Amino acid sequence: MKLSKILYESTEEIWNSYLTHPFVKELGEGILPPDKFRFYMLQDYLYLLEYSKVFALGVIKSKEEEFMRKFAAMVHNTLNGEMKIHKIYMEKLGISKQEIKEAKQSLANHSYTSYMMEVSYNGDVLDILVAILSCAWSYQVIGEHHSKIVNALQHPLYGDWIKGYSSKEYQKETQELIDLTDKLGEGISQQRMEELKTIFFNCSRYEYAFWNMAYQKEM
């Protein structure tokens, strides 16, 4: 069985809970209060800054040019693709450059990104991939789920968010992460497997905590 499938099955219950979380559910239904989404967008912007640093550590720790290029592309896609959408949204939501500059990470946000950085500093390329995979992959799952809700893609505020995370471009980027994880995970020991499952499980729990933080607007 491929590593990605093992990781997914070990956290399937947590991932299913994302779709019923009030923030995620109400976003898909188009009834999420805009102030909660505004709080989320600002925190997610701060999260992506740290997320990009985790990819950058992948470049540093890679021994093969192929992997260096892939991680470098992930840094580029995050800073110049995903974050570009965030900036457009923040303009719509009235979030000023000054507010962005002065913004602080919430406790849940800081804890999550600090954990990923710790894993990345202490581990290898595979540890880094597993640490970031739960975020990238679960967003695709949520985006694809929401894209099937009637009129969700046409929602004036949340439609573009759903389009972004259900797009073919995003699916391609996520699949590259999955394929790379599976490639590096071939033939690993059971002990190594358990270590990676722990990382994936913890990051999946942090994902849920992030949605909860956003819905409660909890610093």
Query: Which residues are designated catalytic?
Result: 135, 207
Which amino acid, one-letter code, is at 157? L
Cβ pair 191, 2 in contact under 8 A: no
**For residue 7, what are its two tokens?**
């990781």
Q: What is the DSSP letter of 124?
A: -
- Helix (DSSP H) and strand (DSSP E) numbers for the chain: 12, 0
The C-alpha atoms of residue 150 and residue 82 are separated, in whole angstroms, by 25
Residue 46, C-beta contacts closer than 8 angstroms, at least 6 positions apart: 103, 104, 105, 109
Longest CA span, the chain: 51
Residue pair 24/82 in contact by the 8 Å Cβ criterion = no
Residue 169's CB is within 10 A of a number of other CB atoms, namely 10
**DSSP character string of 150-194:** TTGGG-TTTHHHHHHHHSHHHHHHHHHHHHHHHHHTTT--HHHHH
Q: In whole angstroms, give the CA distance from residue 40 to residue 166.
A: 19
For residue 128, the Cα-to-chain-centroid distance in whole angstroms is 13
